[in-house]
Amino acid sequence: MKASPADLAQVSHLVAAASGVVLGEDKGYLIRSLLASLARAHGGSLRGLLDHVEADPTGALVQEIVETLLNHETWFFRDPHVFDALADEVLPEIAAKGRFPIRIWSAGCATGQEPYSVAMAVEERFPRLRGQIEIWASDLSERALARAEEGRYTQLEVNRGLKATLLVRHFEEDGEHWRVRGGLKERVRFGRLNLAGPWPPLPEMDVILLRNVLMYFGDETRAEVLERVHRLLRPDGYLFLGAAEGTIPAEEAFSLARKGRVAYHRARPVEV
């Protein structure tokens, strides 16, 4: 699909405005290839698609473009050392303070593998606390959230990071797919949230998993999101970023901590 530099720049601007995700100039081929099918349904070219966007007062087509271009890649127990740190150090420390319920938020949960991995870690290591741990999960993508709430995965998806023992214990066969068992599914609350837009009212969190998300934002959006995250975390709350995130929160807001191979951040008290 042919596209002019101006059309590619307009797509990048639409995506950034709607989601905070920055598509650099080197993403032209990605835009053309991923939007080819959508463009064929709206005039056959990227210019035709953008003309339909300008004539769409609901913004539904912009959302569809964003959905198509977002990266939803994830897998169960991605970076397993993070879940070891959560189970071996973080949750015991919080529980020892007697501060309940313990709230964990998977921000940018994509198709749900991360929050379900947290739920399995809790179930395996802290079954006595299952009723006192709340797992929240959010994403911008309506498509990804629909899949996450359904909790239905292909064989290839469950093969990525999920041990056979956990698969048998927490999933049931559903044709050629595997479905999260009801008890585990009930432990996760899913909801749509645009990290770069207005946030709905949320309770204070003890742990926030914001992994492999900030890397797609511009500097200003990253800083704004981290400021909101800091205000949402309880004092001494825990923030986990992606291993390759390359974003270090401000020292006055967070202190760096380590558990083996995992680095995470502790929220300093908010000054009033």
Pair 169, 111 in one domain: yes
**Within a domain: residue 216?**
yes
Q: For residues 207 and 220, what is the distance between their CA atoms, to the nearest angstrom?
A: 23
Q: What is the mean pLDDT of the chain?
A: 92
| Higher-pLDDT residue of 219, 105 | 105
pTM across the whole model: 0.93
Cα dihedral 158→161→162→164 (10° resolution): 100
Q: Read off the pLDDT of residues 157-198 as tens digits, 9 standing for 90 and up.
A: 999 999 999 999 999 999 999 999 999 999 999 999 999 999
Cα dihedral 142→147→148→150 (10° resolution): 120
**Within a domain: residue 75?**
no
Give the helix ranges, DSSP H, for the chain: 5-19, 28-40, 46-54, 60-69, 80-85, 91-96, 113-125, 142-150, 155-159, 164-170, 182-185, 219-232
Nearest residue to 194 (alpha-carbon basis) of 213, 218, 220: 213
Q: For residues 245 and 228, what is the distance between their CA atoms, to the nearest angstrom?
A: 18
The confidence band for 57, taking pLDDT boundaries of 50, 70 and 90, is low
Beta strands 102-107 and 188-192, pairing class: unpaired
Q: Does position 45 have pLDDT exceeding 80, yes or no? A: yes
Pair 61, 177 in one domain: no
Q: For residues 209 and 260, what is the distance between their CA atoms, to the nearest angstrom?
A: 18
Pair 55, 105 in one domain: no
Q: How far is CA 86 from the centre of its chain?
A: 17
Pair 63, 85 in one domain: no
**Within a domain: residue 74?**
no
Residue 259's DSSP bridge partners are 262
Nearest residue to 209 (alpha-carbon basis) of 136, 156, 271: 136
CB burial of residue 6 (10 Å; 0-12, 13-18, 19+): exposed
In residues, how long is the chain? 272
Pair 32, 152 in one domain: no
| Total domains, the chain | 2
The confidence band for 44, taking pLDDT boundaries of 50, 70 and 90, is confident
Pair 40, 171 in one domain: no
Pair 138, 231 in one domain: yes
Q: For residues 59 and 36, what is the distance between their CA atoms, to the nearest angstrom?
A: 19
Pair 112, 49 in one domain: no
Q: For residues 227 and 229, what is the distance between their CA atoms, to the nearest angstrom?
A: 5
Among 48, 69, 90, the domain boundary falls at 69
Among 40, 69, 98, the domain boundary falls at 69
Pair 124, 244 in one domain: yes
Pair 160, 256 in one domain: yes
Read off the tokens for 54.
Answer: 């300008």
Pair 43, 126 in one domain: no
Range of the domain at 63: 5-69
**Within a domain: residue 50?**
yes
| Number of H-type helices and E-type strands within the chain | 12, 10
Name the least confident of 3-7, 109-113, 165-169, 248-252: 248-252
